[in-house]
Structure 1
């Protein structure tokens, strides 16, 4: 017969096993640990550090971005009570972001630290709050921050994402002057349709610029480079800007002049850009010709090469123009404002062959001589974008695509010929009028003077008739009174 102590021991073991099994399936242990840590925290003094997202000039705090990148990589982010989930640049990427008033814990050199993300109710600015024990402050603070910067740099280098910034923020006091989206333009230096020698020259210039920091400093010059892209719409300027950004791995700041309030605001936008970036202003000629009342010409020129342009390094400034204008060129083409000038012409036969190879996968075709003949005869003014659209629409049949291109070029040539003929006829008419214009003007002048004189004579005769009628009526009335 089993003794009672054995039974009691068995029941105690069984009860303990059931209790542990129950606790393992619940959060009781986590609650107990949290309660113990909360109780322990009351016996320590803590130091707090704030890392705001923007400074008083609405400039982005780079440390805030580094900390955000670092915290996203922590396993504690997934274990926290509240976490925001966002889709990444790829369809299968999930990004975790710290929620407002959420607290996550990190460990460094056997010390515990806490991070929280706060949002101000007055101005909407976000701030990271670092909490650590005061006794650990001198031992871990600086090494911990250096650790954060190094980890964030490694993550950014491994997952470099080019950003497109736009100055469209309606309330800059809340979220700064710039808003950004991932820059996913597919253009590269290999896909851009451009003369091969010119493309290699541009690539060599950009590579030399990246390696010239010490050279620029030795010369006492700001480490920046300015490009002017000149060409009609559809010639590939925007695609080339995207290709340059991909080649340099630079963020792009696209400045919309219509969103700028004055010259000082334009300078402030430049001050809030980061290093290793491209600052782009498109349609510069339209802005200068229309003489904007918001930003003056001197403000734009100071933006290009004034004192404010030296506040930041390793920048590329890119300006685009659609047409040549002598006044505009004299204003901006001074040495020091534009370092590299690239002309984007309309489509020629060489560009057509590059387009056919890229869009249709065709390097040679029996219709190429006919296309070349049309280009050689001249009179065509078709942009590469127009040719590309035709090829995309007929990409399944290269022959049909080439025939459509030939038809478009012929129609464009006919229209251009008719326009030139109408211009020549108009010029002949104007020259003929200039030759015989004296006689015609004198004849017209004589006829007009004659008509005017004739009108005056008629008015005079009418007045005489009315006057005689008035006298006759007066005489009749006088005779009646006399009678």
Structure 2
């Protein structure tokens, strides 16, 4: 008992001496000297070590270090499976929870057979600003690699982490749809809202074989960076969707965006006053996006290059007509021309960015200038036609939860024959099905009646419904609708000035 008491007394005396020495060190040696000594000791130990260390700080001067964010995302992809103490974050416009290393925690990784270690180092830092006199935290990731492996994997490992982080960010980030706004009170010419359109290639009413071709083309484009670099082509692709109204052109665009997980830029040409503003809009678009121009045939009156007015001879300053000529030249310069649009899609300015898709839609392909249709601008022409029987089966599955064959062989045969003759759009058929979605028999019966009535009407008028319509009424309504679009979309002369 006496020996144990003496041991405790000796231990207490030692602790007291240690505390006194620590207090003496803090009093005699300033904080800067202590930190410098520890730093020197740490460097000396690292020189004798078999490892080399790389710090990736959160801030690069006054800017955020993108490599730090990439490492954080990369480690979050597998850190949850090997660590017990984690931090949880959720970025803006993201639907996924991100796991992260906490303070002074570490994790091991293997790349190309080389073992490395990541440590998340958090140190206190006193802010120098008087109005922010508080303790901040300095965060960085420290990478430990064996010295002999440093030159083997460092560059390729960083590239791999960056690519992996871009994929994670792309898959977790909420997609947006943008519209152009030329308001002078906004810092950006684009306004955005979350894009939540539910259309997919599974729900799109189109022949399955055509959908597979389009999906395969989109896959090859998204994975074709090496191909486009090797061939010296801009990493972009153009699609032209044409066909009658209601055939699913907008649903096709939404399905493409959901399939590739791209953002959408809905470009309204009537809000763009000139070619220069069009180029500015293009420069503000991001990669991995779909740039859409709907109803290209009637959105604006594009000036054809062969029909643009020729330059007039210079006139005298005192000529009364010179002022009118100058105003005319100014008006022409403030209009979007066909040349400007072609440069937007296929010229030098189209290379301002990568992995972008241009989609034009039109109801009348015959009205488009041939220059817009050539290969390289519109790489793929997709005809959105009337509803066929394979597309009808998709609609029946979407709205009624059944395939055509489930309704009976006789009914399926009647539907197949009627839909091929009726020339109805998927939108027209959807209206019939959605009214009776709770009653499958009534929906199919009413749809069959509508299809037969439309087929008889088309047969009566020689199958020329697009040209003659119903006693000429449909054609007249279509022309009036197009004229109304042109009148509304064409800006007034005072607005262009």
TM-score, shorter chain, exceeding 0.5: yes
Return the TM-score normalized by structure 2.
0.55
For structure 1, the residue ranges without an aligned partner over 5 or more in a row are: 1-39, 53-60, 79-83, 96-104, 117-129, 140-144, 424-483
1:164 aligns with 2:164: no
Native 8 Å contact 2:270 2:300 kept in 1:
no
Aligned to 1:334: 374
Q: CA contact under 8 A between 1:276 and 1:314: conserved in structure 2?
A: yes
Q: Structure 1 106/318 Cα, relative in aligned 2: closer, same or farther at 3 Å?
A: farther
The Cα offsets for residues 348-390 of structure 1, whole Å up to 9 and x where unpaired, read as 33322332233211332243333333345x3x34210111121
Identify the match of residue 394 of structure 1 among 436, 446, 468.
436
The equivalent position to 2:250 in structure 1, one of 238, 244, 249, is 238
Counterpart secondary structure, 2:359:
strand
Deviation at 1:150, TM superposition (A): 8.8
Provide the C-alpha distance between the structure 2 equivalents of 1:48 and 1:216, rounded to a whole number of angstroms.
33
Q: Deviations over 1:127-154 (max 9, x none)?
A: xxx9969xx9xx9xxxxx99x9799657
Q: 1:203 to 1:115 in 2, by over 3 A?
A: farther
Instruction: Give the CA deviation at 1:227.
Output: 0.8
Is residue 263 of structure 2 the alignment partner of residue 251 of structure 1? yes
Q: Which has the higher contact order (CA 8 A, sep 6+)?
A: 2
Distance 1:294 1:318 in 2: 22
Task: Note if 1:368 corresponds to 2:427.
Answer: no
Larger radius of gyration: 1
SS in 2 for 1:386: helix
> Alignment length, in residue pairs?
343
Pick one of 345, 359, 365 that aligns with 1:318: 359
Of the three residues 225, 233, 238, the one matched with 1:226 is: 238
Q: Residue 192 of structure 1: which of 199, 204, 218 is its match?
A: 204
**Distance (Å, rounded) in 2 between the aligned partners of 1:201 and 1:85:** 36
Partner Cα separation in structure 2 for residue 86 and residue 209 of structure 1: 28
- Residue 354 (1) aligns with residue 394 (2): yes
Q: CA deviation at 1:394?
A: 0.8
Structure with the larger helix share:
1
Q: CA deviation at 1:94?
A: 10
Tell me the residue number matched to 1:276.
288
SS of residue in 2 equivalent to 1:283 = coil
Q: Which whole-Å CA distance do the structure 1 matches of 2:214 and 2:470 have between them?
A: 40
- Structure 1 pair 422–273 and aligned structure 2 pair: CA distance change class (3 A): closer
Taking structure 1 as reference, are residues 338 and 48 closer, same or farther at Cα in structure 2, changes over 3 Å only?
A: closer
> Which of the residues 292, 296, 299 maps onto 2:337?
296
Cα drift, residue 178 of structure 1 = 2.1
Which consecutive residues of structure 2, in runs of 5 or more, have no partner in the other structure? 1-30, 36-58, 75-84, 106-118, 128-135, 144-157, 304-331, 462-467, 473-497
User: Aligned pair in 2 of structure 1 residues 203, 76: CA closer, same or farther (>3 Å)?
Assistant: closer
2-side partners of 1:396 and 1:316: how far apart? 39
Aligned counterparts of 2:126 and 2:192: Cα–Cα separation in 1: 25
- What is the match of residue 272 of structure 2? 260
Task: Quote the RMSD (CA, aligned, Å).
Answer: 4.9
> Structure 1: how far apart are the matches of 2:209 and 2:163?
40
Indicate if the aligned counterparts of 1:51 and 1:64 stay in contact, CA closer than 8 A: no
Give the whole-Å Cα distance in 2 for the aligned partners of 1:255 and 1:62: 30
Match of 2:227 in 1: 215
- SS of equivalent to 1:280: strand
* Cα distance change, pair 64–276 in 1 and its aligned pair in 2 (3 A): farther
Asked if 1 retains the 8 angstrom alpha-carbon contact of 2:269 and 2:300, the reply is: no
Cα shift at 1:289: 5.3
Q: Distance in 1 between matches of 2:66 and 2:268?
A: 24
Q: Distance in 1 between matches of 2:419 and 2:284?
A: 47
Q: Aligned match of 1:287 in 287, 296, 299?
A: 299
Q: CA deviation at 1:340?
A: 0.8
- Alpha-carbon distance between aligned partners in 1 of 2:454 and 2:174, rounded to the nearest angstrom: 42
